[in-house]
Amino acid sequence: MGHITFVEHDGAEHQVDIVEGKSLMQIAMDNGVPGIDADCGGECACGTCHVIIDNSWKRAVGDARDDELRMLEMTPERAESSRLSCQIQISDVMDGMIVHLPEFQM
Ligand code: FES
């Protein structure tokens, strides 16, 4: 089984097993990774599941849809590789992926 590493703003790391078919937000929440609020439960309507995908893994997660991009525009710590973690479906190709957490959610 593969894993994904979440890195908090202060550098603390959390390694989480890949569960294919779940969202990145779901596996973070299921494993108690701090820093993701996910207030809307994964409906792309709150922006509180913001993460920053490590640049070397941007291709693995694909492109954001327009509704996700609109939500990300409101995110204060937005970076070039920002995504909403509820909109990323986990797959085996993400084994070893690094995901950075912002200091704050909206
Ligand atoms: S959980 Fe609300 S936008 Fe992702």
Q: What is the pTM of this model?
A: 0.96
Please tell me if the CB atom of residue 29 comes closer than 6 angstroms to any atom of ligand 1: no
CATH code, domain with 86: 3.10.20.30
Structural domain total, the chain = 1
59 domain residue, yes or no? yes
Residue of the CA atom closest to atom 3 of ligand 1: 44
47 domain residue, yes or no? yes
Residue 87 CA, closest ligand 1 atom number? 4
Question: Measured in angstroms, how far is the CA atom of residue 36 from the centroid of ligand 1?
Answer: 9
Q: What is the pLDDT of residue 42?
A: 97
Q: What is the pLDDT of residues 21-68, one digit of tens each?
A: 999 999 999 999 999 999 999 999 999 999 999 999 999 999 999 999
106 domain residue, yes or no? no
96 domain residue, yes or no? yes
105 domain residue, yes or no? no
Domain of residue 70 covers 3-100
Residues 6+ apart with CB under 8 A from 66: none
50 domain residue, yes or no? yes
| Strand order through the sheet with 50-53 | 13-17, 3-7, 98-100, 50-53, 82-84
